Structure 1
């Protein structure tokens, strides 16, 4: 077969002349009317500073035609192919390095024993009870799902105007699902530990016929036709959906299109985010549990602020089919609860692959309340605790007393912040239409650190540099693989040692749990002009465990041990009592 060496430029021109490139030609003529001269050497010279490169005049002149071709292709794609938020990239991320062991395990959750002498008390006590205890009452006929649901709906009606943590309460749906749960349990049809337990859902998972707004003004009237897979799984487990919890617009922060979600412990400050409403509602006893998501801190941060227990599972454990995509290689769904074992019950219900999410995988999940902690090795860097708070120091000492082996580790000094480029580029791609149509102006938060500015700036990232960052990401994965060959988990103050960044990009799970009350200044409200931090007051303080891949069970065992010794559940936000 005879071949001809044809340049890309000649190929594109030939396609246009033959008619197969009509879209290219039409787009170029329509959109290049204001730039008939094409890319000039001066344009390239101005752009070099953005890319951190320096070319000669001759090199710039040679590059001009190449960049003209690039712009032609770019404009053709934009004109001909409108990508939807659920159009995922062809390349998918996996946290598992080739040749590494994947911690095989069978499904099974064995929680601690429930005291049969416990009886329901006041509505407040019922609202703040663990899932297992609520389930015990349901199966013993001491409480109905209808009553439990009404308790939470009353609290939502009373507290939501103060905390702004629900965008769309679903009272009618919740009561119907609760009635069905009671009927099924009475008939002996028990769907499992979540049967009849009311929950709140972060408003970026689709709910058929009910608004799913993504917290953002451009989408506040969006009504999906189908349920997300996670919604279907929780319905199959018998859980009762109370409503759609607020989130920072497009999964960033705690400011959504109508309000700022507040921290129940200090309503003068935001709840942090982006799982803002999920954490706030759980802390305020407005649901049995909630579902949050994390791309880069959106479970850890609001759990820290609101004093709740947030489990960020291994990347890919929970499928994202039917949910808003922010960063395909980073987005993760997980439970936000008041107790560690509650997160195990929820994860068991939502774990496992789905064909609609190419990054999801099926691995068993097991948890055993009687797990022997002496079998664990927990890593830490003394530098993380050098200036740590008393609660952090106490937690480290409790791990030492648990029987587990404590091992000092040190992470390489690498530019982990460079990984942010992946988030910026993927998020800008996911919401390209907002930037190009100027509908990004509709978003409520417009500061320099907010999404609109980030999306615009990301258009100037180098594609080559993005690939280099991805290669660096794999090197970081190898570093952490070496670390977890020495330890089962790490413990640190929540944001120490770049662990939040590192583990999100490597896909490792984390557990953030409250262990005490400490004095700190209240945070300024997000996106409010002239907002300042408030006076110091006693507020929840959490710590984070960072588990090995698929190591949630062991991590939860250590978390429960710390939780029992801290007895944080004796504290409740004053606004919620």
Structure 2
């Protein structure tokens, strides 16, 4: 398998946007709905054959003088049509007419019932310490609430107190909603007193990533141009979580427009080393979950934004199959890649959360009907699991411990590889689609107000995207289909694949094919304070911090149940998931 995009750092430095994630369309700020104005600079110079000659180098093509003359003859009309199209109002809610579908023609995907089973261990007695309650997994908190040992209101107050105490250090909430939280918690307690269980997350408080709308609550997208934006209506996932009994504590931070961990209010921090960022873009959901400020968080991923902050903060992140979770009411970044999923403190919790948010939605043109079946306590002996020896030779001790735990659980390891292809060519999709989604910021120069202005940041990648050939872009999409076929063939006969999170380009490849990925804590290492790209900060000094890391599992399309069962079995054998960051314990 190609190692051309073998690490997250290489992917990012190659001009990719790997720390991003989003869902799909949400109500746009009024100024975005207005027709974008061209930059108020002097009128563009007339296009000549010399202009065309110079432009050829951008696209690696060569024309003759006669060919340039022919192109030039019709170019003014082409430019005029393009300018007229730009003037058409296109709010963030407007999706392309051609939508990505991860399913291959002629392939039969297993029909699944909607059925989730836990591993069967009881919740046990309620701890006397509030921190012990706060750090308990969702499945355990749910058991205490059902038994009456814990009220939703008390659990909510524990988390509100912790947010008040620690958010100033972590910068993981952009908006806290105590009134909503208390009202929803009280409703849960009244319902339980009447003998009604609202759903699998009855009384469980959570944080919602700020690019997802909740009616009447600020949804700033982490970006200066939208910091006054207030959602007019609920995203579909917000409704589903409320119906499942979850309690909204507030909106967690994300890097501006779903890239990284820097937003207009600062930088979201890693609880294990608050001197460094929490990675992103689901920065606040991972940080708050790791620090015990929420029972779980909702994240989004376009190209690493659930996996990457889970890796850094030691949370468990599940990126579902593309189309499984509705994105209506969430900011659109890249329509063919955006996904929404849970961030939790245990593998088993992700099953409960995904069961609550799974379901087709006619308002999301990328939504698919797919049942979700998971048995967290399933015996994984005999499960066929792909692995690549080279990945683990270059991996860490934690990765190798996870592999050994899989062996000890009785799985059959099968060598796995993919063809050597130029997978980084796929990266054009996220740059082009995101540049289209936020074209007005480029054209009216309001991208200058975004807090991050580095060469890898949105403003520059969007400017660069204007020079990607439409012909090349279509052929990149055709190449994507070829990659989908490759991955389908490689997964044939396998239940899962295990590996370091960023090894072999698997994070990039499976995001583009739509396959699910589970990142779970597998161990610890000592690291100097890191940049978003994983290297040591220039001013980091020599001090090292003991920080967690994750290993990943991948599954065939819609088979999240496989990696939940396997992940829980590995997690139980490793015994590293329950340790807390010392400053927040």
Give the TM-score of the pair, scaled to structure 1.
0.92
| Unaligned segments of structure 1, at least 5 residues | 1-26
Deviation of 1:376 (Å): 1.7
Aligned residues of 1:253 and 1:526 also touching (Cα < 8 A)? no
Contact 2:119 2:378 in 1 (8 A): no
Deviations 1:221-275 (A, max 9, x none): 1012100000000011110000000000000000001100000000000000000
Match of 1:44 in 2: 52
Residue 69 of structure 1: how far off its partner (Å): 1.6
**Is the Cα contact below 8 Å between 1:120 and 1:137 reproduced in 2?**
no
Instruction: Tell me by how many angstroms 1:31 deviates.
Output: 11
Residue 298 of structure 1 corresponds to 305
Give the conservation status (yes or no) of the 8 Å contact 1:103–1:549. Answer: no
Name the CA distance, whole Å, in 1 between partners of 2:40 and 2:249: 52
SS in 2 for 1:379: strand
Query: Would the alpha carbon gap of residues 43 and 404 (structure 1) be closer, same or farther in structure 2, given more than 3 Å must change?
Result: same
Distance 1:261 1:116 in 2: 32
Give the counterpart of 2:191 among 184, 187, 195: 184
| 8 Å CA contact retained: 1:313, 1:552 | yes
Label 1:76 to 1:277 Cα distance change in 2 as closer, same or farther (>3 A).
same
Measured against aligned partners, the alpha-carbon deviations of 1:289-338 in whole angstroms (never above 9, x if no partner) come to: 11000000000000000000000000000010011000000000000000
> What is aligned with 1:422?
429
Answer yes or no: is 1:100 the counterpart of 2:107.
yes
Q: Deviations over 1:82-121 (max 9, x none)?
A: 2111110000101110111212211111102233642233
Judging changes above 3 Å, is the alpha-carbon distance between structure 1 residues 549 and 54 closer, same or farther for their aligned structure 2 residues?
A: same
Counterpart position of 1:69: 77
Deviation at 1:193, TM superposition (A): 2.1
Check 1:60–1:133 CA distance in 2 against 1; reply closer, same or farther (3 A cut). same
Match of 2:569 in 1: 561
1:405 CA displacement: 1.1
Q: Distance in 2 between matches of 1:289 and 1:35?
A: 52
Deviations 1:351-382 (A, max 9, x none): 01101111111111011133231242100111
Instruction: State the distance in 2 between where 1:386 and 1:504 align.
Output: 24
What is the alpha-carbon distance in structure 2 between the residues aligned to residue 457 and residue 207 of structure 1? 33
Choose from 507, 525, 534 the match for 1:500: 507
Given the superposition, is the C-alpha separation of residues 51 and 117 from structure 1 closer, same or farther in structure 2, using an over 3 Å criterion? closer
| Deviation digits for residues 422-469 of structure 1 (CA, Å, limit 9, x no counterpart) | 000000000001111111011000111100111111111100000010
Counterpart for residue 537 of structure 1: 545
Q: CA deviation at 1:194?
A: 0.2
Aligned to 2:458: 451
Residues 206 and 226, structure 1, Cα contact 8 Å, conserved in 2: yes
1:360 — aligned with what? 367
Match of 2:485 among 473, 478, 488: 478
Aligned twin of 1:270:
277
In structure 2, the residue corresponding to 1:183 is in which secondary structure?
A: helix
- 2:582 is equivalent to residue 574 of structure 1: yes
Which residue of structure 2 aligns with residue 395 of structure 1? 402
CA distance in 1, matches of 2:81, 2:296: 48
* Alpha-carbon separation, structure 2, partners of 1:341 and 1:124: 20
Equivalent residues of 1:135, 1:195 under 8 A apart: yes
**Aligned with residue 551 of structure 1, among 544, 552, 559:** 559
* Partner residue, 1:348: 355
**Alpha-carbon distance in structure 2 between the residues aligned to 1:250 and 1:36:** 29
Deviation at 1:37, TM superposition (A): 8.1
Larger Rg computed on CA atoms: 1
Contact 1:131 1:197 in 2 (8 A): yes
Higher RCO (CA-CA < 8 Å; seq separation 6+): 2
Task: Give 1:138-537 correspondences, 5 Å limit.
Answer: 138-524=145-531, 531-534=538-541, 535-537=543-545
Q: Matched residues in 1 for 2:70 and 2:544: separation?
A: 61
Contact 1:111 1:341 in 2 (8 A): yes
Deviation at 1:32, TM superposition (A): 13
Distance 1:37 1:524 in 2: 41
**1:574 to 1:76, Cα distance in 2 relative to 1, 3 A:** same
Equivalent residues of 1:182, 1:196 under 8 A apart: yes
Residues 173-207 of structure 1, C-alpha deviation per residue, up to 9 Å, x if partnerless? 11111111111111111112201100000000111
Aligned residue for 1:12?
none
CA drift of 1:404 comes to: 1.5
**How far apart are the structure 2 equivalents of 1:399 and 1:317?**
27
Unaligned runs of 5+ in 2: 1-34
1:513 is displaced (CA, Å) by: 0.3
Count of aligned pairs: 547
Q: Give the match for residue 4 of structure 1.
A: none
- Structure-1 separation of matches of 2:577 and 2:309: 17
Counterparts of 1:33 and 1:216, CA distance in 2: 25
Match of 1:58, SS state, is: helix
Over 3 Å counting, the alpha-carbon distance change for 1:125 and 1:222 in structure 2 is same
Query: Is the contact between residue 524 and residue 547 of structure 2 (CA under 8 Å) also seen in structure 1?
Result: yes
Task: Indicate if the aligned counterparts of 2:359 and 2:369 stay in contact, CA closer than 8 A.
Answer: yes
SS at match of 1:455: helix
Judge conservation of contact 2:40–2:444 (CA < 8 Å) in 1.
no
